[in-house]
Structure 1
Amino acid sequence: MASKQTLNYKVHTLAGEATSETSITLSVQDTNPKYLLHRAIVAQNNGLRQGTSSCKTRSEVRGGGKKPWKQKGTGNARSGSSNSPLWKGGGVAFGPQPRSYAKKMNTKEWRLALNTALQSRFDKTVVVEDFSNSIKNPKTKNAVEVLSKITNIADNSSKTLIILSDVNDNVNLSLRNLSNVTLLRSNTLNIRDILLANKIIITDKALQNIQEVYSE
């Protein structure tokens, strides 16, 4: 069963001071939310699988048209083709074939799972003012200095998710070298990155964009 929940956040400056408050209202799953999140994660992970593994069957292996030896009189077991899976160089029996691993999930159901994931990470989320203009050059050191006032993103043992309403080149180039930092736009969120993050940094503009895009 879904219900409306309002999440209240304090908006922090880059100096770490809380200057104002903002809120977002989301529809979240109350009963058995782990089941819903599990289905969403399985659907997302399956969508990443290529499904291109392929083996040739006995009908696809080249050759094998001639009967290796006559049916009777040789003392050998009868054989009709060298393409048999029993032969070296023959086809593969029940081998993998190209397929799609995609699992269907309704849009409303996926959106409910996303909102529930955001609600579950409420205590791990920090809302800050937009800092895109604070990073003047595409330099990782500058980005780390700006964001280290909010959280220790240089700690490789923890994963940080940064959600922005718009990503410019300076921010993208500055953060892409950090293996423990994931950068997402607020209109292209995914549940897996939200649940894997130890800390979520989101700007106030991105929070309002989430309310517009993902709320019902």
Structure 2
Amino acid sequence: MALQIPAINGSGSAQALEVSDAVFGQAFNETLIHQLVTKYLSAARAGTKAQKNRSAVSGGGLKPFRQKGTGRARAGTTRSPIWRTGGVTFAAQPRSFDQKLNKKMYKAGIRSIFSELLRQGRIAVCDDIVPATPKTKEFLAKIKGIEAKRLLVVADDLNENLILAARNLPYVAVVTPTSIDPVSLVAADKVIATASALKQIEERLA
């Protein structure tokens, strides 16, 4: 069964794009989408936080003072965590926060997101989205009438005119079919894509 993505352009309406039900007609899987978004955000974490444990701090080679007769609690090393110059208890170490998610689940999650975007009317096709010049004014004329706090533009490639024209608009993001991520798709109020970009997405997710 074929579905249709509504089309728009700078001068008015245009012909809708027919897409596959296998990609854009899937049920909304909230659990899988949550897992997908969590994985993406976790993989973006640096994981470089590091603290010194008692084996990493300097000093402590000798017993700091004799065992008895000083009136102080016995101590065997100055590297102990209870000392001011000692190591940290359960010290943080560099680690990877990436989570496991196989390709089949990833594709299913992206299909579910695109399907929900289509059901909610938050995706449209526009072959006239790339401006002829790197002027923000020209790009704004092309997206005139599109009400969105966050607009995601999916182009065939990173066209220089499109990048330069859109970079001054903080609510607009430009991606290609190969660089789409689940967080950008979920966060976008509206997704505008060229017909060829949508066909590339359809082929990748089929």
TM surpasses 0.5: yes
| Contact 1:160/1:198, CA 8 A, preserved across alignment | yes
SS at match of 1:121: helix
Task: Find the counterpart in structure 2 of residue 188 from structure 1.
Answer: 179
Task: Find the counterpart in structure 1 of residue 80 from structure 2.
Answer: 84
2: CA distance, partners of 1:121 / 1:104:
26
Deviation at 1:165, TM superposition (A): 1.3
Q: Which segments of 5 or more consecutive residues in structure 2 lack a partner in the other structure?
A: none
Q: Are 1:51 and 2:43 an aligned pair?
A: no
Report matched runs for 1:1-216 at 5 Å.
6-18=2-14, 20-25=15-20, 26-27=22-23, 30=27, 33-122=29-118, 123-132=121-130, 135-149=131-145, 151-152=146-147, 158-215=149-206
Deviation at 1:137, TM superposition (A): 2.6
2: CA distance, partners of 1:7 / 1:192:
24
1: CA distance, partners of 2:159 / 2:140:
16
1: CA distance, partners of 2:61 / 2:5:
73
Per-residue CA distance 1:135-194 (angstroms, 9 max, x = gap): 233222222122225x146xxxx1111111122111111112211111110122111111
2: CA distance, partners of 1:89 / 1:148:
62
Distance change in 2, residues 1:171/1:23 (3 Å): same
Identity between Structure 1 and Structure 2 (%): 31
Per-residue CA distance 1:18-52 (angstroms, 9 max, x = gap): 2x23222134653x710110110111111100100
Question: What amino acid does structure 1 have at the position aligned with 2:125?
Answer: V
Q: Which segments of 5 or more consecutive residues in structure 1 lack a partner in the other structure?
A: none
Q: How many residues align?
A: 202
SS at match of 1:171: helix
TM-score, scaled to structure 1:
0.87
Runs of 4+ in 1 over 4 A off after TM superposition: none
